[in-house]
Structure 1
């Protein structure tokens, strides 16, 4: 079993600790003879988590300029949870009187009120958070396919929903523990803290509902207004909604910090009112609550990055001499395609300054102008050659109308004879 580690040890040390804890748990599970489906699924999830941890280790070693300190708390909690789960597993098969070869009571295995399936889902949340953090780095540093972006968006949405559900579960268990502790205690401080926690929960719920409303209004606003509307009223409204969202996020941050302080007060005030086992359980619930919040914040930031910093564009142009620009004059990531149909299409893509974009646009325009002038000069030259010997005083043809084609004004003999015969016939009838 990996030795516990603190957050000051550095990210790489924490990653190594978590990897070792997961690997030890994986090896322990593999040593059991009986593996029902739920255990096989659990082992498979551990393997997926180990893969994510190995990718994180490689990223930390090769990208020293990348700051992934937001993963410190989730990683530490993940490693501790694996160690604690393994302790519960050892207790469970020891109480049953079985050894690893004959143990079958997997349904009785509990950790913080979770069965093996619930704990598997918790590990999946840690794994998704790590993968999302790594994917965000990739979208900032290298190109990604449209399919990868879609999978990334789906992963962020799923992980956020799972973490919200996990927070609700942890919160319910904290509430149950608080109620039991306050009922058994005569301490007015604990009752006050419980009321304070209930009030903070209600405020967080209001903020969550308001944030959800803003998220629903923003795309509706964008879709309902024309491009002209966006210049004044649309921009004002969009800016207002964005400012509201920033203010709500700041409020939520303050409320969550207050909630952490409340949990700390509960820990300090419950010395004589809680059993040692309940205090240990409360400490784990507190860590789980803080970790789930941190993971959810990582997912929310990734979602905002996808919405605000990445543009997906499919640029079409038809016609000769079309000019297509697919560029960004900021740090915004562009995923797109320039599709041109015609002759002499000119395309540009990448990150450029305003001055570079204007210079290249001017260069493209000059290329088109010079090519047009060259075509006109060539046409005039061909017309002069083909029109050599033409009496310009007796014709309206000029080279600027095209190269032209010289027609013979003399009639062929059989055409002339036919004309004379026809005239004669008309005279005879007259």
Structure 2
């Protein structure tokens, strides 16, 4: 009988021909290349992320400290107008603090009375220094007529120069800090009377025209109200819509049309929702512009598709045996959904909701369209008050050319990233904590 066994197989059924071996080598080589491509992509992504984070941190970490100058101030009673023996708070507030601090600078700095030094003196202390001295005297009026040693906030130019963020080896006409001011800085550093300390203004003050006084507190409060409105509206509506579509809605063309549109809305650019908020909530309903209420409504529209899709995926992941067991025990459909399916799907629903809110927290375009990029110097006290948010505050600072705002822009990004990381970490924790494997 003729042997019909192919020459490409051995008695053990393995490929031994040269062509088969070549195909195996090419396949293994392709697999190795694919793994290398994957590793290279991950390394490239991590490298870009590292460069981005390094750039942000290197430009912004100095914003978490500010420069203070220690001065001895003689609180001259002649700079106050007292009607009686005991000064009132109004009389203390009306004091000539500019003259008090100018005199203190002239006493504490060498060559302060040189020709042309008056302009340089005005560029040493921040405008907040007057408020610092006034608050100190309001707390203790007995200091009037005495010498007081205090640390005062320096201007942004002195602050940036002392931190080394501005070059010193350039011609004086190209610098914001004069040679005389640099001499004063060197003198104060030798005396140990100029130093950096934690910048509490960054977290306790709202926006300001002066970089050294500008802070994120107004934006943080505005973001809180914004997320409050978004969460209160989007989570109940999104979860409710997901439960109805997944568990109760009949499967017909109408529900299919709704599902397609929800998926499409998740891919709509965020600025479209800002235009919708401007056209509907402000122009039609007359809601206050720049208010967290309007911003929250616009972000609710943007967040709803994400929450609905994530919630439906969580409900769909529950095994059918759970539903069948509930029915077998005599549960109604409502009881089956709310007593058995929904508690098991809750970790995924919470995760999707938090991720949707984190996405909303970082959105800028919708807020710009409804005017939440205004210059707000006080923190909002309600959802109807004019406010800004962290992304729009970063946008405002990035639009300024002053070096002090450059570092605050990076610091604002770091704070925003911190909130986003915290929210995503919370989502991961909740998923791991309550997740059940089937």
TM range, smaller chain = under 0.3
RCO (CA 8 Å, sep 6+): is it higher in 1 or 2? 2
Write 1 or 2 for the structure with the bigger share of helix: 1
TM (norm. structure 2) is 0.22
TM (norm. structure 1) is 0.23
